[in-house]
Chain A
């Protein structure tokens, strides 16, 4: 297409863009400004083509033009982006963004918030593309880290008392995305503290969209730190408030909420797992239902990469205790069917054999150890008689349900 563009047409497109930019700033129209700043969106494609044809575009930006410096770098970013030079595009965009932020700080009202959103989004996306380019050249990817520092500056510009605060959560979410991608999640902490201790702003006053993203990421952090109650609360909030038509987002939330729910003893229906294509959890759930330790181990091995990457592996590994509980309960039920009066006594030897069948080689010492742990964690009520190698189950509620509470640690 671009090859058929005449110089005159290119010139016209560029001046039109500059005029629209000036108008948007003059009339404080944040929404229009937003679409003019979105380098990676297809809106600006025709302008980018024009920049390729009319090489001398820099001349068209007059010094009298508002934000002329910002525009210079911005158009250079667009130009580089169109020719696939993403590192150059990022560098120019960062300069433009810095210039814009400088102006934005001086504006009292929050009219340009939409534009700031666009910049916060674009800088992250451009940085990711630039880093891929750097990596392919055998260089160290460092732009996303740079984008993180820039976003921190934006965050600082928003967190004061005043109307701009409403944008703080959006920028926070972009920062989360950067930190999660870089694997530096500990950096989230200071941002979270600043959001959660703020006295100027009620969380409920932030846009719903940002609340959901925020709860999703902080929920994931709680999963990482094995705070299952907090994780449950945050991810459930995200699930309840997210757009019910966005299947992809629901799936992302469930990917973390399911292991959390499993950890507190709540199992999902298989149909839910199928509906959202979370089939990697099917055997994990099955193992919990049937007390099948081997099935749990196999499920973890089969999806090891996926579970490790999403950070739920160690959480799922911990479910082993609940599977042991289920296994004991099964033995108890079978014994009860044979002789109810003796059902509450389980010989460790029986457990050893059941485990052997599950290809788990454990001797009496180790089985006794497991039982002691189960009793200590309140997954079994009872005591063991060390000498006769028997577990004596409590007659009342020998297998307490977790019902929404995590296993004691």
Chain B
């Protein structure tokens, strides 16, 4: 999995990842432990580029490491996998390997990049924590891998072969592009241009429709729809949506703040439901934005002066997303997470067939039976 010359050199320099060390020794590794490191420069010798069987073996080995539950080791393991997988991609690229096996590899890598977005969100790199999780780099690599993957899909399409998993990954990519992220800028046009480039079949798959619904809810600030979609989402979709949870919640509280009269309140239980915060510290979020918590028969949040308008509450691990994951990491990286043809998609189909009654009639009908409150 690692060219001999590199292995010896890294042994000499002690440049071995924890996962590569033999008997925890800094300077010793073995054939079965060392994995080729990513190198920005193209290989000078062709024999240093791993042929497909070696790359496949490497990926299998790396994925085997994920055959375990999510735990505190995950960050270190991710930091190792991230780099070695990148090296595999480099070798694939150098050899122009576009086949189904290469596609499967890239798909597995992307799934890993997605799930760490949520799983490691509280381990973010920062001052005094340089070993932490780098959101920006992670998204950047996910982005690049997706672009390569889409080229492979397109190549197959040209030859008349449709890859069934394409819609899953087009959907993820659309979710990735729906709005700017922490540390990653997305221009408003990108989603629009991406959609325009898709074939209309792909554009109307449940996965892409789902992403478009999420994008609309997110941009509009429709927190009810947004979090309902998050409940419906697959684990990986939810991980991508999670990047926007904090922002949507802050927007919601701004909107509610605007819509309430001074000293008026809303039961906190409702807010918990709306913002999908069951099992999380909602009170601290509310207080952060200047609401006070009062106890009458129920717990209420009461409007005060709004605080921290410009700074979203820090991104925290979400119970909603947590519930969706598998017991072992490998299962989330390997499984095709495709949606069944949703009610949404079928609704869109039936919309096209149905006529539409007049709005005014509708309103008259609706108001007919109302008893007005005074």
Contact = CB atoms under 8 A, between A and B. Distances in A.
A338 to B, nearest CB: 7
B372 A291 contact: no
Nearest to A375: B259
Most buried by B among A138, A311, A349, A386: A386
Interface of B: 158, 187-189, 191-193, 195-197, 200, 203, 216, 219-225, 252, 254-256, 258-261, 264-266, 270, 273-274, 348, 351-352, 354, 356-357, 359-367, 370, 372-374
A224 B192 CA distance: 8
A330 B128 CA distance: 58
A350 B373 contact: no
Given A331-B366, A385-B264, 6 more contacts: A225-B187, A225-B189, A295-B356, A308-B196, A338-B367, A366-B222
A334 interface: yes
A370 interface: yes
Given A183-B197, A342-B374, A365-B224, A318 B219 contact: yes
- How would you classify the secondary structure of chain A's contact residues: helix, strand, loop or mixed? helix
Interface stretch (A56-64, A97-105, A267-275, A351-359): A351-359
Interface string A319-347: 01100000100110011001100100101
A386 B264 contact: yes
Contacts of A305: 200
B357 to A, nearest CB: 7
Contacts, number: 146
Contacts of B225: 366, 369
A369 B223 contact: yes
A395 interface: no
A327 B366 CA distance: 13
Nearest to A333: B363
B367 A335 contact: yes
A349 B371 CA distance: 11
A224 B259 contact: no
Contacts of A290: 359
Nearest to A343: B372
Contacts of B256: 372
Which bracket fits the contact residues of A?
35 or more
Interface in A198-220: none
Contacts of A388: 373
Most buried by A among B351, B359, B360: B359
Contacts of A320: 216, 220
A308 B174 CA distance: 14
29 contacts: A183-B197, A186-B187, A224-B192, A224-B193, A295-B356, A314-B192, A317-B216, A318-B220, A331-B366, A331-B367, A334-B360, A342-B372, A347-B372, A349-B370, A350-B367, A357-B366, A358-B362, A359-B354, A359-B356, A365-B273, A369-B223, A369-B224, A369-B255, A372-B255, A372-B256, A373-B220, A376-B221, A384-B260, A386-B260
B223 A298 contact: no
Given A345-B372, A354-B359, A386-B264, A225 B367 contact: no
Given A317-B216, A357-B366, A311 B221 contact: no
Given A314-B191, A345-B373, A370 B222 contact: yes
A14 B270 CA distance: 85
